[in-house]
Amino acid sequence: MKGRKTAMQPSRYPRDMLGYGANPLDAQWPGGAKLAVRIVLNYEEGGENCVLHGDAASEAFLSEIVGAAPWPGQRHLNMESIYEYGARAGFWRLHRLMKDLLITVYDVATALARSPDQVGAMKAAGWGIASHGLK
């Protein structure tokens, strides 16, 4: 149809789907490197919904438990154990592997407040800490 506007017309589509196209910028990475990798570690252990934290119910969404539902007014020990394992074991495994790399920790502030030893290790490694919220 003549004059019809469609999402396929680049001049009409509000998002940039081309970028630099066939003419990318020369980033001039040190040593002529062709690839830059940034590692971001999400740290949320201790920031999940939990009645111990004053929440009305247990965590329901941020886990690998299929079909998890909030448990109003009660603890969900299976859910809590997933988060505890991440803080007790998972973090330290990743720290041993990456302590000599400059990474960013993308955290929940309440989680870091409950994990002073992990925060100390992050700081000692020189990792950048960037919070994505209180909870």
By C-alpha distance, which of 17, 18, 36, 38 is closest to 26?
Answer: 36
Is 132 a residue whose pLDDT tops 80? yes
Is 1 a residue whose pLDDT tops 50? no
Is 63 a residue whose pLDDT tops 60? yes
How far from chain centre, in Å, is Cα 132? 8
Model-level pTM? 0.74
Is 84 a residue whose pLDDT tops 70? yes
| Residue 8 confidence (pLDDT) | 53
pLDDT digits (tens, 9 = 90+) for 2-59: 554 445 555 688 999 889 999 988 888 899 998 889 999 999 999 999 999 999 999 9
| Residue 106 confidence (pLDDT) | 97
| Residue 10 confidence (pLDDT) | 54
Is 114 a residue whose pLDDT tops 60? yes
